[in-house]
Copies of this chain bind each other. A is one copy, B any other.
Amino acid sequence: MLFFRNDYGQGCIQDILDLLQKINLENVTGYGMDPYCTKAKQMIQSYIPDLEVDIHFLVGGTITNQTIIKHILKPFEAVLACDSGHVSTHETGSIEATGHKVIMLPNNNGKLTPEVIKKCFNEHMLTYEHMVYPKLVYISNATEFGTVYTKKELMELRNICDELGLYLMMDGARLGQALTSNVCDYDLNDIAKWCDVFYIGGTKNGALMGEAVVITNPSLKPYFRFNMKQNGAMMAKGWLLGVQFIGLFTNDNYFTCGKHANKMSKMIQDELVSLKYPLFMKSDTNQVFPVVSEKQFQYLSQDIDFEVWDKREDMLIIRFVTSWCTKQEDVDILIQKLQEASALE
């Protein structure tokens, strides 16, 4: 069975496993106050020369989104997010569980635009204290649809946030894939300047687990560790997470991983286009969204493990995801299967 279901279906790059083995019996301080976390932070900081940032390592995406948002917002403040955003849909109400409304705005290819933010903000100001106060703009990059924000788009979001007094937060669960996408015209240092807080996803780009939260806005730095601990987001053996990011940022592994995943997906998407499969979305990264018929779906399902994204009348939107360890030979077989399926109906 070929595996194109997701990008968290395997373990991690070998460098991480090797380091885990190497230090296994060392005596290390707990709760992320150890030399490995310190080193990992220094490695990440070195990619952000223009700002002094605070860095924290958390174990997974949902708890990271939850901890950041809980840390930042006052009780009556709300999140502005796409209706396709991860916090809007697939986190089982984890943001609402901390007391905050997620205002779901229409997405534009998976992205938020300044226009919908401004319209929403203005509507809320009309009745003021009778509605929540929209305060934090949440974006995912790459988005849940595989698209990537451009430099221009991010600067415009920063501008509208400045104009309206909003925070800008980037969910970077797939930031590695975004930064190595062909359409990306900026780097970590730029992101740090545009966002008040963002995170660098490890789980979906070569690590066993772990997201590196980068706080750039000085007013948001104090007391983050209190909220981490309260929220169950501080690991006793915190160095495990430091080790992940040492591994990822050694020899630019993180970018190599992202680039590989994107390259594998591009081959698939290019073939889909040439075979005239409709696309639900033109992806810039490691997720590809062809639209297939029921017969094609049945045929592909025989040998390939993938996800059904949505149904539209008699067609299905399916999703192929590649990762840091997707093999060229598997892509070749997938392409062959797609060719065969294209002949069906």
- Residues on A facing B (Cβ under 8 Å): 1, 3, 5-6, 8-12, 14, 17, 20-21, 23-31, 59-64, 66-67, 70-71, 74-76, 78, 89-94, 96-102, 104, 127, 129-133, 203-204, 208-209, 223, 225-237, 240, 305, 325
Please report the C-alpha to C-alpha distance between residue A75 and residue B102 in the assembled complex, in whole angstroms.
Answer: 16
Cα distance A129–B71 in the bound complex, in angstroms: 14
Closest residue of B by beta carbon distance from A12: B24
* 6 sampled A-B residue pairs with Cβ under 8 A: A11-B25, A17-B20, A63-B232, A76-B223, A91-B130, A101-B102
Which residue of chain B has its CB nearest to the CB of A224?
B129
| B131–A90 CB distance below 8 A | yes
Q: Is the interface of A mostly helix, strand, loop or mixed?
A: loop
Whether B208 pairs with A92 at a CB distance below 8 angstroms is no
Q: Known pairs A10-B26, A63-B232, A91-B130; list 13 more (Cβ under 8 Å).
A: A8-B236, A9-B27, A9-B29, A9-B30, A11-B237, A63-B231, A71-B75, A90-B127, A90-B131, A92-B230, A132-B230, A133-B223, A231-B232
Q: Please give the distance in Å from A321's CB to the nearest CB on chain B.
A: 11
CB distance from A94 to the nearest CB of B (A): 5
Q: Would you give the shortest CB distance from A122 to chain B, in whole angstroms?
A: 11
Given contacts A66-B232, A76-B92, A97-B231, contact A28 B10 (CB under 8 A): yes
**What CA separation (Å) do A101 and B98 show in the bound complex?**
10
Q: How far is the CA of A5 from the CA of B27 in the complex (A)?
A: 9
- Cβ-closest 4 pairs across A and B: A63-B232, A11-B24, A3-B27, A76-B226
Measured CA separation A31–B14 after assembly (Å): 22
A10 touching B30, Cβ below 8 Å: no
Question: B11–A132 contact, CB under 8 A?
Answer: no
> Distance in Å from the Cβ of A165 to the closest Cβ of chain B?
12
Cβ–Cβ contact B133 & A231, under 8 A: no
A85 CA to B21 CA, complexed, in Å: 34
Report chain B residues within 8 Å CB of A27.
Answer: 1, 3, 5, 9-10, 305
Residue in B closest to A14 when the chains form the complex, CB atoms = B24
Alpha-carbon separation in the docked complex, A131 to B223 (Å): 12
- Inter-chain contact A94/B24, CB cutoff 8 Å: no
Q: Which residues of B contact A97 (CB under 8 A)?
A: 75-76, 99, 230-231
Distance A305 CA – B203 CA, assembled complex (angstroms) = 33
Q: Evaluate contact between B89 and A131: CB separation under 8 angstroms.
A: yes
In the complex, chain B residues whose CB is within 8 Å of the CB of A9? 27-30
Residues A17 and B6 in contact, CB atoms below 8 Å apart: no
B237 touches A209 (CB 8 A): yes
* A237–B131 touching, CB < 8 Å: no
In angstroms, Cα B30 to Cα A3, docked, is 12
A184 CB → nearest B CB, Å: 24
Q: Which of A12, A132, A133, A230 has the most CB of B within 10 A?
A: A230
A127 to B6, CA, bound (A): 15
Q: Which residue from B66, B99, B204, B325 sits with its C-beta under 8 Å from A236?
A: B204
A325: chain B residues at CB < 8 Å are 25
